[in-house]
Amino acid sequence: MKVLVQNYSSRNSTEAIYFQQTMKTIGIEAVLWNQNQISTYDIFDRFKPDVFIAGHNHLTSDIIEYLSHSKTDTVLNVTGLNESQSNTLNTILIDRKIKVPFVFTNTPDSVPEAKLKDFKSHNILPGADLFIPRDNSLDFTLDAIRIYTNKDLDYSYENNLDWHRTYHMTGLYQSDKFDFEGNVATLGALYNKYKEICFFGNPENIFSQLVFDAMFVNDNVRLLSDDQKKMSKIITGIFKTGNIQEQIKPKHTCISRTQRLLSKLGVDINNNVFEQMIGSI
């Protein structure tokens, strides 16, 4: 099987990259497509994929046109769709007769989200990216890093929290108060430099790959939301009671997420292959 993965990475997700890298590691012919480097027709004509994995907000008119005349199975990440966007996308896929065996979302079951009415949908949550290199060249340790996920949110609720003696402040948007501008790759390389990692924002924005990356390397992660009840509901719906960090390695890394994606595609991969990968972490 040949899989073309569109690079739909964002500030808080490297999902496309870790799908491709994990597939390649287990022997699947998978290519990561950066759209600014090669055109739609060139990549599809050269690679001739059996499966195309893409982000719904990265679909272009060229991609839609090509897929409408192709036998390639298309699997879309539809995370974050609102009702209007869902209806529009559903209509395009139906009218252009694009082969879509299913779509998937990173949104937990406990969070309401619009769905495509004519297509099967699965949950594939974010996972810790094991391919992000840790930066061992930086020699520092601080009490904490404070990561802000919402630009237009009242963060006054943080004033009631204990302040750290030494810390960095960063976020997923630009601000003069930040020590540096954060993104999933930069932060993933630094999580082991802090005694505590604190995320601030609303539950939907806090809950992303960043949390799994942080929990994979650090056992002191706090999720400080403006709606702690909703945040707790999301967490208890995903993790069992007990030590959360101990659950990340066997069940919540890019290996588990890729395994789930492939199983939904009907790809028969010996589970021992994935177990060996997890065991080698």
Taking alpha carbons only, the member of 183, 95, 112 closest to residue 147 is 183
The distance from CA 246 to its chain's CA centroid, rounded to whole angstroms, is: 20
Instruction: Supply the range of the domain harboring residue 20.
Output: 2-127+253-279
- 126 vs 142: CA distance, rounded Å: 27
In the chain, the percentage of residues whose pLDDT exceeds 90 is 77
In a domain, 135, yes or no: no
In terms of domains, do 107 and 159 share one? no
In terms of domains, do 231 and 150 share one? yes
DSSP readout, 185-229?
HHHHTTGGGEEEEEEEE-HHHHSSHHHHHHHHH-S-EEEEES-HH
- 149 vs 73: CA distance, rounded Å: 34
Give the pLDDT confidence score for residue 72 in this predicted structure.
98
In a domain, 203, yes or no: yes
Give the pLDDT confidence score for residue 152 in this predicted structure.
78
In terms of domains, do 204 and 243 share one? yes
Give the pLDDT confidence score for residue 7 in this predicted structure.
98
Model confidence at 139: pLDDT above 90? no
pLDDT digits (tens, 9 = 90+) for 221-262: 999 998 999 999 999 999 988 889 899 998 999 999 999 999
Q: Which two tokens stand for residue 101?
A: 């065996």
- 147 vs 206: CA distance, rounded Å: 9
In terms of domains, do 203 and 238 share one? yes
In a domain, 243, yes or no: yes
In terms of domains, do 107 and 26 share one? yes
In terms of domains, do 111 and 245 share one? no
Mean pLDDT estimate for the chain:
92
pLDDT digits (tens, 9 = 90+) for 18-72: 999 999 999 999 999 999 999 999 999 999 999 999 999 999 999 999 999 999 9
In a domain, 259, yes or no: yes
What CATH number is associated with residue 13?
3.40.50.2300
